[in-house]
């Protein structure tokens, strides 16, 4: 076996001053921090004694929850401002509206934001009384639930239909409730959607009012058209043209009215004596 120079020079440094200095500094910082904690604890204890009750520190979850509640409250105030800006001097104050909104929120499945939006939507009808507003809101909420219709959509349609039929001046909560009941009845009895009925009703409402049809007549005719699948623009246009022609012929004594009488097997006098809604029902 060959001879090799296996001498190895190993230098071990025993100088640990760097580590010792760092350790001492860390210990000093730690002691200083502990001292601060003790001072804070002592002050909290003193405050607790002076207040006569225990001070409880909130956890991160508690703080997060409080932050969330604060955001909800701020958002509610913002929502209420949409109603508040329309409240003039001498009108119901925002506290009454807030109380009514809270009451409706507790008794329905809708969120507070949806109730606030509904309240604002009703105020656009010119309803300044908070009590009347809340009754109307309850009516629309029940209608939406009974017909499974979108709350904002069915509310807007009911308001517009009432306006077209000239009901806005007298359409208090009682009148709107009756109209809502009629809509629910025809919707359920014909198996057609409330929104579909109201959509067609809005299309034929102006000429129907001129022809002497009531709002209930219009809802019933619209439901019949929807059930037959004739609920589009063409059907509405055909209906309006015919109603206008009958109304004009009746008013002017035109012989054109005879063609409608013959269509349903009636004499001219018999046809004239029919209720406007009955004329149309028999024709269609």
**Which DSSP state fits 87?**
-
Q: What is the number of helices (H) and of strands (E) in the chain?
A: 13, 0
Tell me the chain's radius of gyration from C-alpha atoms: 38
**Percent of the chain predicted with pLDDT > 70:** 65
What sign has the CA pseudo-torsion 251, 257, 258, 263? negative
pLDDT digits (tens, 9 = 90+) for 158-190: 999 998 998 865 556 788 999 999 999 999 999
pLDDT digits (tens, 9 = 90+) for 100-154: 888 998 988 898 889 989 988 888 877 778 888 899 999 999 999 999 999 999 9
Q: How many CB atoms lie within 10 A of CB 223?
A: 27
- The pLDDT value recorded for residue 78 is 53
pTM for this entry: 0.65
pLDDT digits (tens, 9 = 90+) for 37-71: 555 555 545 544 544 444 444 455 544 544 544 44
- The pLDDT value recorded for residue 28 is 61
Q: Residue 254: CA atoms inside 13 Å, Cβ hemisphere, count? A: 13
| Inter-CA distances, 250 with 172, 235, 240, Å | 33, 22, 15
Q: What is the DSSP string of 122-170?
A: HHTTT---HHHHHHHHHHHHHHHHHHT--HHHHHHHHHHHHHHTT-TTT
């Amino acid at each position: 076996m060959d001879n090799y120079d296996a001498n190895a020079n190993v230098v071990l440094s025993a100088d640990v001053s760097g580590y010792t200095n760092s350790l001492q500094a860390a210990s000093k910082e730690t002691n200083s921090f502990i001292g601060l904690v003790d001072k804070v604890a002592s002050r909290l204890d003193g405050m607790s004694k002076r207040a006569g009750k225990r001070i409880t520190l909130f956890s991160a979850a508690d703080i997060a929850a409080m932050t969330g509640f604060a955001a909800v409250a701020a958002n509610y105030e913002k929502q209420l401002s949409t109603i508040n800006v329309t409240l003039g001097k001498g009108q119901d104050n925002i506290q009454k509206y807030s109380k009514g909104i809270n009451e409706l929120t507790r008794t329905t499945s809708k969120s507070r934001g949806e109730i606030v939006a509904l309240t604002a939507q009703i105020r656009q009808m010119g309803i300044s009384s908070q009590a009347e507003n809340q009754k109307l809101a309850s009516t629309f909420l029940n209608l939406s639930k009974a017909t499974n219709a979108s709350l904002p959509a069915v509310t807007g349609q009911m308001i517009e239909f009432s306006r077209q039929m000239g009901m806005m001046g007298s359409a208090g909560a009682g009148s709107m409730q009756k109209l809502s009941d009629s809509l629910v009845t025809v919707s359920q009895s014909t198996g057609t959607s409330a929104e579909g009925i109201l959509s067609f009703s809005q299309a034929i409402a102006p000429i129907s009012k001129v022809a002497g049809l009531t709002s209930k007549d219009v809802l019933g005719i619209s439901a019949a058209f929807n059930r037959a699948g004739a609920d589009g623009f063409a059907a509405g246009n055909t209906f309006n043209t015919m109603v206008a022609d009958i109304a004009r012929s009746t008013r002017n004594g035109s012989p054109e009215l005879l063609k409608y009488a013959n269509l349903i097997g009636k004499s001219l006098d018999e046809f004239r004596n029919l209720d406007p809604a009955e004329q149309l029902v028999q024709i269609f």
